[in-house]
Structure 1
């Protein structure tokens, strides 16, 4: 029984790119982005919950985030959660709304963030290459077990390499866009 599954390989490589995009969206640029608050967890009702479970996050202006807390009793817990997340944001409470102005980034901080985007991209590429390595090993095992011929193995290895090249290019493009966004503010 052959082990090679092109759809599974493609899904795993796409997963690495999606994970990278999630990591990159969490990097703060000078512009307000609601996904910046995705990692924030809040202690409410005796348990830790994601911010999105207790409030609505909006970006009413390019340099301002607004958090509308649904339950008035949770406002201070949400404020604490945002502060604990260490995102460099200074919450200002106004009733059930918490405003988060985006501070300006220093040139040094921009370079650090751009470097971090590059590190995230490298991690995603390593994950993609690991998927390729697993696929190549399973193809060799299939050939050794006489499930596929040498020609089939070579053809399938070419397919795997094309998928790898495609997803590495997507990774590079996503990282490059984020680096430009960070540095051009």
Structure 2
């Protein structure tokens, strides 16, 4: 029983950690990378479709992304979707190729992004603590229903706490890595 709770908590915490990693990828650094546009959707035959399914996204150089839609009419639609996104990018079109120059980041913008990253990391820590709370509540319910003893409950709480500490340490490591990446000139 306790092992099941531990396994469930571990898998939920790992999913939270992976979600945090994905959120960190979306927060741009000074370098161009194709995952910057992963979350963009464009209207395609009446449906919102991920950009990667209607165009080829490439890195032209360290500060420029290239987007080549597979159909000519999609060029203006893709360009508009990039302009309207929250990324603050200003694409320019040359035939079928949409060039997206990434502006250099100012010190002020870097500090804003670090604050944003810290907020995301805190959200990850809160998610881990909520999962720990749920596991501890399951253990308390099992004691109340006389499925396990109070000693087993304490052991289970210790196991869940160690798991929580390990994953919060991973969140902190991810945060430190992303902060260093953002402050790198």
Bin the TM-score by the shorter chain: over 0.9
Matched-pair contact (CA < 8 Å) for 1:83–1:89: yes
Taking the aligned partners of 1:140 and 1:168, their CA distance within structure 2 comes to: 23
**Structure 2 unmatched runs, 5+:** none
- In the TM superposition, what are the counterparts of 1:81-96 in structure 2 within 5 Å? 81-96=81-96
Q: How many residues align?
A: 185
Matched-pair contact (CA < 8 Å) for 1:3–1:142: no
Runs of at least 4 residues off by over 6 Å? none
The match for 1:41 is 41
SS at match of 1:5: helix
The match for 2:7 is 7
How much is the aligned-residue C-alpha RMSD, in angstroms? 1.6
The match for 1:66 is 66
Matched-pair contact (CA < 8 Å) for 1:16–1:127: yes
Matched-pair contact (CA < 8 Å) for 2:2–2:156: no
Matched-pair contact (CA < 8 Å) for 1:43–1:77: yes
State TM-score, norm by structure 2: 0.94
- Indicate the larger mover: 8-17 or 38-47: 38-47
Taking the aligned partners of 2:11 and 2:88, their CA distance within structure 1 comes to: 35
Taking the aligned partners of 2:54 and 2:88, their CA distance within structure 1 comes to: 21
1:107-126 deviation line (CA, Å, top 9, x unaligned): 11100000100000000100
State TM-score, norm by structure 1: 0.94
The match for 1:172 is 172
- 2:121 equivalent to 1:130: no
> 1:5 Cα deviation (Å)?
2.1
Taking the aligned partners of 2:184 and 2:2, their CA distance within structure 1 comes to: 49
Taking the aligned partners of 2:76 and 2:164, their CA distance within structure 1 comes to: 47
Taking the aligned partners of 1:129 and 1:110, their CA distance within structure 2 comes to: 29
> 1:14 Cα deviation (Å)?
0.8
**Structure 1 unmatched runs, 5+:** none
